Amino acid sequence: MPSYLPTLLAALALPVVQLVHGQLFTVNCQPLTIQRADPIIFPGVISPHVHAVIGGTAFQQTMSTTTAPDATDTTCDKKLDKSNYWQPQLYHLRNDGWFDLVTFQGSAVYYLNRACDYAPGLTTCPTNFNSTAPPAGLRMVVGSPTLRTFNASSFSQLAIQHVCLRENDSPNFNSLPPMACLRLRSETFFPSCWDGVNLDSSDHSSHMAFPAFGDYNGGVCPQSHPVAIYSVFYEFYYDTSPFTDYQNLVYAMGDPTGYGLHGDFLNGWSDQNALAQAVNTCQGPEGAYATTCSVNVCPLPSSSSSKPHVPIVPAPAENVGLTGPIAALPGNNPITGTFVKARSSKFRT
């Protein structure tokens, strides 16, 4: 048995697929690459900080949503899904001033039916509403890498959360948790409302909006962004068990607060029609796992999962900490902001 297999199998077992209200289906993904690339915000160049990336093997510095479906493989269990999903990588600041890379274990991506289209006067979604699939070619970003403070009135900040997985409970915070965690689940919930026209925008977020009525994670879309799409929600898992000095965790952009956590999505589904049919074929507690669910045409890991998944274009030749401690965060990012005492936030409903 190849030596990497136990790791892959361990990663596969990781995502805890809980049922979330309005769930259509979940995509469980192994890590693809950890590198300084961000083809949405910094196309064609090395990006300022390191990202943990999952999904299609076409991921590289220069790519578009028209090239994403060309991936020959994906680290995700739904083989039609050649999308890429990424968040900043987590590090641990050591007593000697060097940094350990915190093992990125894999992710679950939820596609949810949680928002409904704008209609004049509508303030609550009708029963039996259906959102539409994220359009082919959509890219979007949620969160801001420069944030070091928290505003509880901002949906885009409420959409950034951390769950501390411990032996007997799993408290939820917007900041990095003020306690030691066996595993950390870094969560980003994307805006569910689209302007219906633009697949991207100069700030990579203004073509999207959070609901006007409801919450950051569901409700009625605003007139400016009238089209409700499936809500996209990431859970990225990190093995924080070796680091009981939790206050020394820091994201790759030099953020020890956690408020700068952000997520990037590039729609690379190779069968947009299957994605569009999910709302009609995958709903309900069992629906998401049924063979009739349109995105489940090949739900189990293919034989290719016995090989390591690697991006077609290799990562930049730089040490991001995969083989041992590094003297600085890649990109020489200084640590800015101090560890903020966390505030608890609402659990998702």
Ligand X SMILES: *[C@@H]1O[C@H](CO)[C@@H](O)[C@H](O)[C@H]1NC(C)=O
Least Å from the CB of residue 178 to ligand X: 22
Q: Using CB under 6 A as the criterion, what x/- string covers residues 106-145 for binding ligand X?
A: ----------------------xxx---------------
Interface with ligand X, residue 224, by CB under 6 A: no
- Return the residue of 283, 294, 305, 345 that touches ligand X, per CB under 6 A: 283
Instruction: Indicate whether 57 belongs to the interface with ligand X (CB under 6 A).
Output: no
Of 154 and 319, the one with the shorter C-beta distance to ligand X is 154
Q: Least distance (Å) from ligand X to the CB of residue 344?
A: 18
Query: What is the footprint of ligand X within residues 15-54 (CB under 6 A)?
Result: none
Residue 130 CB, shortest distance to ligand X, in Å, is 4
Please count the residues of the chain: 349
Query: Residue for token digits 């136990």?
Result: 6
> Binding to ligand X by residue 273, rule CB under 6 A?
no
Site size for ligand X (CB under 6 A): 9
Residues in contact with ligand X, shown as a per-residue x/- string from 81 to 110 under the rule CB under 6 A:
------------------------------
Choice between 279 and 335, CB closer to ligand X: 279
Pick 53 or 276: Cβ nearer ligand X: 276
Distance of CA 24 to the CA centre of its chain: 17
Cα 175 to chain center, whole Å?
A: 16
Q: Among residues 224, 280, 302, 338, which is the contact residue for ligand X, using CB under 6 A?
A: 280
Q: Which is nearer to ligand X, 153 or 332 (CB)?
A: 153
Q: Does 153 bind ligand X (CB under 6 A)?
A: yes
154 binds ligand X (CB under 6 A): yes
- Measured from the CB atom, the residue of 103 and 283 that comes closer to ligand X is 283
Q: How far is the CB of 156 from ligand X (least distance, A)?
A: 8
SS3 labels along the chain: CCCCHHHHHHHHCCCCCCCCCCEEEEEEECEEEEECCCCCCCCCCCCCCCEEEEEECCCCCCCCCCCHHHCCCECECCCCECCEEEEECEEEECCCCCEEECCEEEEEEEEECCEECCCCCCCCCCCCCCCECCCCCCEEEECCCCCCCCCCCCHHHHCEEEEEECCCCCCEECCCCCCCCCEEEEEEECCCEECCCCCCCCCCCCCEECCCEEECCEEECCCCCCEEECEEEEEEEECCCCCCCHHHEEECCCECCCCCCCEEEECCECCHHHHHHHHHHCCCCCHHHCCCCCCCCCCCCCHHHHCCCCCCCCCCCCCCCCCCCECCCCCCCCCCCCCCCCCECCCCC
Q: Which of 62, 72, 123, 151 binds ligand X (CB under 6 A)?
A: 151
Q: Which is nearer to ligand X, 68 or 133 (CB)?
A: 133
Q: Which positions touch ligand X (CB under 6 A)? A: 128-130, 151, 153-154, 279-280, 283
